Chain A
Amino acid sequence: MKLKDIIETLSLRVICGEEHLENELTGGYCSDLLSDVMGNSQEGHVWVTIQVHKNIVAVAALKELSAILLVKGLMPPNETIKAAIEQGIPILQTNETAFEVAGKLYNLIQQS
């Protein structure tokens, strides 16, 4: 499954990283604790979180995640977007809660 498939099916907004939407998705990880994501997410995961500060980009880049998905309509500050563009990490957004969107993502990825 590609990023663009989940974007389409779940009507996610693309905040940055248009050029990376062909990224392959291997699964997802849902957490707001950076050490938890460092320790337990896997390459290619989409990361569902409420954290919007710049450090999420460093974590996603070091772990080679396929994207960051912000929930509840949260907007990242400009410095986060700037870092994400530099590091080539797409940032997506939904109005849904982490619970809602993670459930849908899980089903989509299981079916693929």
Chain B
Amino acid sequence: MELEYSIEGGDFSKAGLASSEVKKILKQVNIKPEIIKRIAVAMYEAEVNVVAHAYQGKMLVNIDPSKVYIRFEDEGPGIENIDQAMQEGFSTASEAVRQMGFGAGMGLPNMKKNVDEFFVGSVVGKGTTVELTTYIK
């Protein structure tokens, strides 16, 4: 099964909508609740990052009998130093975004902790790709 959602950069009013949709579908296809919970954390963080840090992006979901694979591709400033971005607490979020309780610098670490395979690639000035893979056996 393949699904695609678009994500608008800067629009916090819709942040999390795509993740909620995907979570519903994961439930419908009877993936174990413990696994769905972990995927939900990771995909929400990735979705919010597109909203908070990029201009626009899309979320591509591929569900097969062995795994759930989710790829986020965005057009945005990209990430200069991925090792630094991965550190807990590192954030370039604006003051306004922090006031809302985003920008704790825990998003990328939360993603890594909650999936089996995690990849982040970025081209500065172009955009960022995040891949989340979870095996469901």
- The docked-state distance in angstroms from the alpha carbon of A49 to that of B101 is 10
By the criterion CB–CB under 8 Å, are B44 and A58 in contact? Answer: yes
Which residues on B sit within 8 Å (CB–CB) of A79?
13
Tell yes or no: A109 within 8 A of B by CB: no
By the criterion CB–CB under 8 Å, are B13 and A62 in contact? Answer: no
By the criterion CB–CB under 8 Å, are B17 and A58 in contact? Answer: yes
A-B pair number, CB within 8 angstroms: 64
Interface size on B, residues (CB 8 A): 23
Which residues on A sit within 8 Å (CB–CB) of B41?
38-39, 62-63
Q: Which of B40, B44, B110 has the most CB of A within 10 A?
A: B44
> Would you give 23 A-B contacts (Cβ < 8 Å), ordered by A?
A32-B101, A33-B106, A34-B104, A35-B105, A35-B106, A38-B44, A38-B106, A39-B41, A39-B106, A39-B110, A39-B113, A43-B37, A49-B101, A51-B100, A53-B12, A58-B15, A58-B16, A58-B17, A59-B16, A61-B20, A63-B41, A79-B13, A87-B20
Query: Using a CB–CB distance below 8 Å, which chain A residues touch chain B?
Result: 32-36, 38-39, 43, 49, 51, 53-56, 58-59, 61-64, 79, 87
